[in-house]
């Protein structure tokens, strides 16, 4: 059976923790930051857990992680 390929875009976006949950960054922090409040930008900077319903899709994209 051939080796499975890792989706490199997903490998750059998600990090797996010790208890097999994934971490991700918030969206909307890339540009147009002058109109966003400091509080909103600070909240968007935090790293959060991926929703449980998306975990199976990420595991398929990252077979060896």
Q: Assess if residue 2 is contained within a domain.
A: no
Measured CA distances, 53 to 26, 49, 60, 65 (Å): 17, 11, 13, 18
**Three-state secondary-structure class, residue 51:** coil
For 35, the domain range is: 8-61
Q: What is the pLDDT of residues 12-61, one digit of tens each?
A: 999 999 999 999 999 999 999 999 999 999 999 999 999 999 999 999 99
| DSSP helix, strand, coil percent of the chain (3-state; round to 5) | 35, 10, 55
Q: Assess if residue 40 is contained within a domain.
A: yes
pTM (predicted TM-score): 0.84
Q: Assess if residue 39 is contained within a domain.
A: yes
Q: Return the DSSP state at 53.
A: G
Which CATH number covers residue 17? 4.10.410.60
pLDDT at position 29 = 96
């Amino acid at each position: 059976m051939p080796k499975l390929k890792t989706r490199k875009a997903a490998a750059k976006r998600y990090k797996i923790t010790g208890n097999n949950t994934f971490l991700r960054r918030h969206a909307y922090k890339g540009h147009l930051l002058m109109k966003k409040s400091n509080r909103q930008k600070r909240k968007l900077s935090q790293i959060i857990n991926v929703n449980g319903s998306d975990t199976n899709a990420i595991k398929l994209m990252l077979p060896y992680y």
